Structure 1
């Protein structure tokens, strides 16, 4: 999903991020973000599966809505977890939805997926049915008016249904604290350089959704914060994930970085450099993800 707090689009998962992708991706187009979302899904597949397994459902869901589905990390995790379910995948990006449909065909589950292109910041949402489960991963904090979006979810959710809000505590870190050797702490300084951008464009990032859900007429059934710490040896995609992610952060952070930090960052991003992120063996994916499971009060 192309992410901008001007609300021309809303993408989740992946997102990382998410399931996540970085909040700075909107400046780099659908194609680059789709690649990051796919890497995010690959690296965090086991983690996403653990969340879907944890959900405190009263019964097996048959109709699921994935809000801000991106390229489908959550959609396919949910289809695998609930083999009798159908998923309505909602996103603003036509390109991401096309990729999701292609994946569904390749996996033989196209009959269980419906895609809907919609801007969830609009006053009126399209008909999304009466889902037993609404999944919103790394998408709610991009809403222009979260209270209005929560009201929409409460209206469409089945009476005994569950609403799962999944949010990353922050953008993943990849490098050890003492790296790179010539500019220790560079990654943290790069993230700090994007703080003002995020404060302006995604002010709800890192919010506590518990009180917001309660105020919107939900009862929070359970809440869990899950640490993410995936060492490079567990996935060969981590190097590419780190490279693509920090490349996008560079575009926002560069004006606030010192000349020395920018040069060190560019060396990490230089695929031909022996010090490139693509060649490092000390990378990891470190962050936290919080899940709020709520039902209609």
Structure 2
């Protein structure tokens, strides 16, 4: 399912930044990814975002309190899959992903957390692989996996087809770009993060354009849910608010995202002011007192939107 792309963990944040495991290295070639290194980052990031995902899952549970089967489509290493097992203690959970090594971690995690008896994995590409599920799905959770499918409308329709009558589809897409620093950080030109977001938009557009069978689609997620024949489409946004001073985990996450932004910036050198590159280099230099390693003003503020509708 070509979705091991540059930045993101689904469980992380905005757009190309952090998708479940849309995290690859280098444009669209995901043949040389170091899964062990990547998986660890994906787990760390998903654990950081657990409070946000827990609130989102609880909101889904208000609409579907006792599902029999819950599927995490594009699960990565299973951090959210096991969180869904907590939210729905009576449900069987299936983590679906195209990466065997990540699913292996998901199984170990389920074992460690004592939910292995009702936890299964399915190694399959989305959306086609969902046809391998033996039963209709009561809750299908797809966090930042849809935008890695070339034809998102067809993807939503395929998700919707797997639902049991009254089953719920929860798409995590959109929200806001994550913020880590104030507008003026005392070095370089103020507004660095907004300019990095603009470069990220370019990257994201190219990533989408390069997907197999890509179709341009307005990002009206509730509209796509309705077009797939689902009812009562509604959206809600959840915050992750980790104020300064940052914990070690929050600081590590900021460093990971800024390193990836630095790689992206290098690919789009003609789209930005070179002074931003030197500011980024300072932010990433552990020997610089103004770096993310040492700054007292690092925080994590993220907003993820969940779009929900039922069969």
1:1-297 matches, cutoff 5 A: 3=3, 13-16=10-13, 21=18, 25-27=23-25, 29=33, 30-55=35-60, 56-122=62-128, 125-127=131-133, 129-202=135-208, 207-233=219-245, 235-254=247-266, 255-256=268-269, 257-296=272-311
Structure 1 unaligned spans of 5+:
none
Query: What are the superposed Cα offsets for residues 131-185 of structure 1, whole Å, 9 maximum, x if unpaired?
Result: 2111111111211111222222222111021111112424412111112523322
Deviation at 1:286, TM superposition (A): 2.2
Q: How many residues were matched structurally?
A: 291
With over 3 angstroms needed to count, the CA separation of the structure-2 counterparts of 1:106 and 1:66, relative to structure 1, is same
Do the aligned partners of residues 121 and 152 (structure 1) sit closer, same or farther apart at CA in structure 2, a change above 3 Å counting?
closer
Q: So what's the TM-score if we normalise by structure 2?
A: 0.83
Give the equivalent residue in structure 1 for 2:212.
Answer: none
Indicate how the Cα distance of structure 1 residues 88 and 17 shifts in structure 2: closer, same or farther if over 3 A, else same. Answer: farther
Q: Output the CA distance in 1 between the equivalents of 2:112 and 2:139.
A: 25
Local SS of the residue matching 2:288: coil
Separation of aligned partners in 1, 2:107 and 2:186: 40
2:291 and 2:134 mapped to 1: Cα distance? 45
Tell me: higher relative CO, structure 1 or 2? Use CA pairs within 8 A at least 6 residues apart: 1
Pick closer, same or farther for the CA change 1:211–1:269 going to 2, 3 Å.
same
The two structures, once aligned, show a CA RMSD in angstroms of: 2.8
Q: 1:91 to 1:49 in 2, by over 3 A?
A: same
Deviations 1:106-127 (A, max 9, x none): 2222222111111115487422
- Structure 1 distance, partners of 2:252, 2:277, is 20
Q: Distance in 2 between matches of 1:49 and 1:122?
A: 28
Alignment partner, residue 213 of structure 2: none
Q: CA–CA distance in 2 between the matches of 1:4 and 1:228?
A: 24
Whole-Å separation in 1 of the counterparts to 2:122 and 2:167: 21
- Give secondary structure in 1 for the equivalent of 2:166: coil
Equivalent pair of 2:64/2:139 in contact (CA under 8 Å)? no
Instruction: For structure 2, list consecutive stretches of 5 or more residues without a partner in the other structure.
Output: 27-32, 210-215
CA contact (8 A) 2:50 2:80 kept: no
Residues 221 and 211 of structure 1: CA distance in aligned 2, closer, same or farther (over 3 Å): closer
CA contact (8 A) 1:13 1:74 kept: no
| TM-score, with structure 1 as normaliser | 0.87
Once the two structures are TM-superposed, the CA of residue 295 in structure 1 deviates from its matched residue by 0.6
